[in-house]
Chains A and B, each alone.
Chain A
């Protein structure tokens, strides 16, 4: 069986710096994979490369068996890869509902004339967009519904902004979802809630998820597999328990014990 996404020998160089070197990686349909690693390990660059924001220097990225190298970000999204950003990047002055509606852009098609002539197809599509947006927002319970629909995104609390960002990624109707530190900055209660939601994203919506996360409890609770990056190189792969006891990983995070140092 072929993988949903497969990355072969990915190398990205910024100037003389190897952000990623020789990364091999794959995700199967329905998996939740966590990518962890210390700061500067190249995790976000890895996401940027997949979504077309950064062009890899070498290597190949296959999605559903086909190379997505050199595609524009919107084409990648069109193929079914959605992402969230580490530092929440909503459209702050658009309303909550609009943020979700606009994310369905690549799944809809009406242009100038439909809008001007108010064709039946246009009205139907608008209605569908709105219904789907509400459906997506309802996934987060009562937090983003009702009076929230018409509030601009900038009034939301930090945790709600994170949720809205996930909702926006959901609205692009992806097969693969890339979450960049989904629980960063949340309190333990919110983290627990969101961890459960990530599980439900797979079980209820059928998304495959690759997640960058620093919170090890979240990583432990939801991931099928963990990949550890350090200095752009994968140093370990496997289940959480395997990885967490791997001496290389411990070293990357905590440093070499003092007596070993030179």
Chain B
């Protein structure tokens, strides 16, 4: 029954059309097959399979190391058999032809791997290629000899390519269930640390103990059970979420307000209560996510709202950190007033504002790429200043300032050894930052920022003092970043110039872009996904095995997002409109036709009634 759903266009026109199996686009297969080979060999050579082998996802068959290879033929099989649907052109039904294409693409990858393994066995290129090792070979052939490995890879890649292409062929319902099960299971495996920690907090260890094997990873039996459960749940909940969402956005006035308030209260309660049940590692992770979320929210105001591409954002992070360290630490080399954190914060705000103005004033008159480069420079300059010998008597040079006390609240001292308290501190500031972003967005200032982002020259001609308005965005962003810096230093207990590398700026920017520029929810999701799962520049995430490949993954993810979903994971409606103008125009066009029809009716009606008053020259 569901098969007819996917092929409704074809089946409505009578007999479904299938292209003959041999009618292949060989160039396309060659291209993607070659890419498959390249990707497999490259991933093997950068050491991902070996490095990630210790992290087991499904005990004992699948480790993250194998997964880092296996997704490639699956994905490329999917890509190669994807049909571009053109309007007005009836594309043939997906079928045997596509399956063959996928399988062949996978097979090419498999052949590549086989050749690679033979080469691994015969030559020794360990000198330039560090990962060209017997260990890799052993891993690739499952420790059962070369012959087994070659055959296994040929078969596995072929099958995976076939599976990838089968995604297009199977009915939509099946596709949905399978993808839910697969991604759900993957999620449970990846989030093992978080789930185990959480269940421990709730006293449910017995459950996670049985789900996860001792060495890590979901056990085979449980993975089957979980996959089935998730599959069933996905069938049961089909369409519910969408309906709920539509229902929510359909609400109006006070009802909408009430619904939003309930959602807000529930989320707030969850964020406040959940950490109580989490262990040290998870709280540490959450605190890191919070620190970067605070930074990302600030950058979101600068880049997302005002459209100033600031690549030196880390400078303000550093200013916040150093100001706090100097003012609170007894070991501050030159000036050590040992103030309380709360007093320091006020000074931090003032300082960050001043630095924002000083850096911003010359920079803000530039536009686009020039501004980005100059801010990049300023970001480095600030770090180098803190590191320099010249300022060493004041800031301690490369040794930094240590012995920064925690935040003494009287009944409790917030410091790094108690990450939960740090998390709550960060939470307060994140809430503040979210409030600031939210209120400013919908104010006179927010509109002015938007106008500047759209067309600076016209904004100026429409009476907006662009220099001051942009500076204000710069300063607000700087203040939020400095809060994050202050908390970081109080948490870690020390400050070093190398904590403020240019990389931090870039990672925050990636968080904002991948999450969804200009949208608070997007930035939230971005920080959780990127910092929480992959980890920050120095802070490990849930997949801490990725540490050495983090930059590669960040880069790959950014490229992928730019190609496939440039508006980000959770985009603001404005931004998705901007990037999908054509689709949006079509929708509007259809809607306005309805409107016009209604209007015409109303006009006719008005004429019939005999409305003598001219309707504002509308029909002149």
At the interface, yes or no: A203 with Cβ under 8 Å from chain B?
no
At the interface, yes or no: B260 with Cβ under 8 Å from chain A?
no
At the interface, yes or no: A258 with Cβ under 8 Å from chain B?
no
Tell me, rounded to whole Å, the shortest Cβ–Cβ distance linking A199 to chain B. Answer: 11
B584 touches A94 (CB 8 A): no
- Pick out which of these stretches binds chain B: A19-27, A83-91, A236-244: A83-91
The interface size bin for chain B is 35 or more
In the bound complex, CA of A14 to CA of B293 (Å): 49
In the bound complex, CA of A56 to CA of B88 (Å): 56
* Residues on A with beta carbons closer than 8 Å to the beta carbon of B443: 110, 114-115, 122, 126
Tell me, rounded to whole Å, the shortest Cβ–Cβ distance linking A240 to chain B. Answer: 22
Which A residues, 186 to 232, have Cβ-Cβ distances below 8 Å to chain B? Answer: 189, 192-193, 196-197
In the bound complex, CA of A118 to CA of B24 (Å): 64
At the interface, yes or no: B458 with Cβ under 8 Å from chain A?
yes
In the bound complex, CA of A63 to CA of B126 (Å): 79
In the bound complex, CA of A142 to CA of B616 (Å): 8
Which of the residues A85, A115, A154, A189 comes within 8 Å of B444, measured between beta carbons? Answer: A115
Which of the residues A74, A92, A114, A139 comes within 8 Å of B466, measured between beta carbons? Answer: A74
B586-603, CB under 8 A of A: which get 1 and which 0? 001101100100010000
Which A residues, 113 to 166, have Cβ-Cβ distances below 8 Å to chain B? Answer: 114-116, 118, 122, 125-126, 129, 138-143, 147, 151-152, 154-155
A151 touches B588 (CB 8 A): yes
Which of the residues B457, B577, B591 comes within 8 Å of A93, measured between beta carbons? Answer: B577
B446-478, CB under 8 A of A: which get 1 and which 0? 111011001101111111111000001000100
In the bound complex, CA of A44 to CA of B444 (Å): 30
A152 touches B574 (CB 8 A): yes
B574 touches A197 (CB 8 A): no
At the interface, yes or no: B255 with Cβ under 8 Å from chain A?
no
In the bound complex, CA of A91 to CA of B459 (Å): 8
A141 touches B461 (CB 8 A): no
With A91-B451, A94-B450, A112-B440 as contacts: A155 and B588 at CB distance below 8 Å: yes
* Residues on A with beta carbons closer than 8 Å to the beta carbon of B418: none
Which of the residues B442, B577, B618 comes within 8 Å of A143, measured between beta carbons? Answer: B618
* Residues on B with beta carbons closer than 8 Å to the beta carbon of A98: 447, 450
Q: Which A-chain residue is minimally distant from B585 (CB atoms)?
A: A155
With A93-B577, A122-B443 as contacts: A53 and B462 at CB distance below 8 Å: no
A92-108, CB under 8 A of B: which get 1 and which 0? 11100010011101111
A193 touches B460 (CB 8 A): no
With A91-B455, A92-B454, A98-B450 as contacts: A105 and B462 at CB distance below 8 Å: yes
With A92-B454, A168-B462 as contacts: A105 and B444 at CB distance below 8 Å: yes
At the interface, yes or no: B118 with Cβ under 8 Å from chain A?
no
Q: Which B-chain residue is minimally distant from A93 (CB atoms)?
A: B578
* Residues on B with beta carbons closer than 8 Å to the beta carbon of A90: 458
Tell me, rounded to whole Å, the shortest Cβ–Cβ distance linking A72 to chain B. Answer: 7
At the interface, yes or no: A73 with Cβ under 8 Å from chain B?
yes
Tell me, rounded to whole Å, the shortest Cβ–Cβ distance linking B438 to chain A. Answer: 10
A53 touches B461 (CB 8 A): yes
Which B residues, 168 to 207, have Cβ-Cβ distances below 8 Å to chain A? Answer: none
* Residue among B436, B450, B461, B588 with max Cβ neighbours from chain A (10 Å): B461
In the bound complex, CA of A105 to CA of B472 (Å): 15
B617 touches A141 (CB 8 A): yes
Number of residues on chain A facing chain B (CB within 8 A): 53
Tell me, rounded to whole Å, the shortest Cβ–Cβ distance linking B566 to chain A. Answer: 14
A15-43, CB under 8 A of B: which get 1 and which 0? 00000000000000000000000000000
Tell me, rounded to whole Å, the shortest Cβ–Cβ distance linking A245 to chain B. Answer: 30
* Residues on A with beta carbons closer than 8 Å to the beta carbon of B460: 72-74
In the bound complex, CA of A192 to CA of B599 (Å): 22
Q: Which A-chain residue is minimally distant from B464 (CB atoms)?
A: A105
At the interface, yes or no: B435 with Cβ under 8 Å from chain A?
yes
At the interface, yes or no: B122 with Cβ under 8 Å from chain A?
no
B620 touches A193 (CB 8 A): yes
* Residue among A78, A105, A116, A196 with max Cβ neighbours from chain B (10 Å): A105
B476 touches A141 (CB 8 A): no
B458 touches A89 (CB 8 A): yes
Q: Which A-chain residue is minimally distant from B446 (CB atoms)?
A: A115
* Residues on A with beta carbons closer than 8 Å to the beta carbon of B439: 115-116, 118
With A105-B463, A112-B445, A142-B615 as contacts: A93 and B584 at CB distance below 8 Å: no
B454 touches A94 (CB 8 A): yes
At the interface, yes or no: B539 with Cβ under 8 Å from chain A?
no
Q: Which B-chain residue is minimally distant from A192 (CB atoms)?
A: B620
At the interface, yes or no: B581 with Cβ under 8 Å from chain A?
yes
A140 touches B616 (CB 8 A): yes
B451 touches A94 (CB 8 A): yes
Q: Which B-chain residue is minimally distant from A174 (CB atoms)?
A: B463
* Residues on B with beta carbons closer than 8 Å to the beta carbon of A51: 461
* Residues on B with beta carbons closer than 8 Å to the beta carbon of A189: 620
* Residue among B578, B581, B584, B617 with max Cβ neighbours from chain A (10 Å): B617
B543-578, CB under 8 A of A: which get 1 and which 0? 000000000000000000000000000000010011
In the bound complex, CA of A143 to CA of B619 (Å): 10
In the bound complex, CA of A168 to CA of B615 (Å): 22
At the interface, yes or no: A254 with Cβ under 8 Å from chain B?
no
* Residues on B with beta carbons closer than 8 Å to the beta carbon of A126: 443-444
Which B residues, 292 to 339, have Cβ-Cβ distances below 8 Å to chain A? Answer: none
With A110-B443, A112-B476 as contacts: A102 and B450 at CB distance below 8 Å: yes
B414-453, CB under 8 A of A: which get 1 and which 0? 0000000000000000000001100110111111101100
Q: Which B-chain residue is minimally distant from A114 (CB atoms)?
A: B443
At the interface, yes or no: A172 with Cβ under 8 Å from chain B?
yes
In the bound complex, CA of A93 to CA of B616 (Å): 28
A83 touches B455 (CB 8 A): no
With A111-B472, A152-B577 as contacts: A74 and B450 at CB distance below 8 Å: no
A74 touches B465 (CB 8 A): yes
At the interface, yes or no: A60 with Cβ under 8 Å from chain B?
no
Q: Which A-chain residue is minimally distant from B449 (CB atoms)?
A: A102
Tell me, rounded to whole Å, the shortest Cβ–Cβ distance linking A127 to chain B. Answer: 12
Q: Which B-chain residue is minimally distant from A91 (CB atoms)?
A: B454
B617 touches A197 (CB 8 A): yes
* Residues on A with beta carbons closer than 8 Å to the beta carbon of B455: 89, 91
Which A-B residue pairs are the 8 nearest by beta carbons?
A106-B463, A141-B616, A115-B443, A77-B463, A141-B618, A91-B454, A102-B447, A155-B588
16 new A-B contacts, CB < 8 A, other than A51-B461, A172-B463, are: A74-B466, A89-B457, A91-B451, A93-B454, A94-B450, A101-B447, A105-B444, A105-B463, A105-B464, A107-B463, A110-B445, A115-B444, A118-B439, A139-B616, A151-B588, A155-B584
A-B contact pairs, 10 of them (CB 8 A): A74-B464, A77-B462, A77-B463, A91-B451, A102-B451, A111-B445, A139-B616, A140-B616, A141-B615, A141-B617
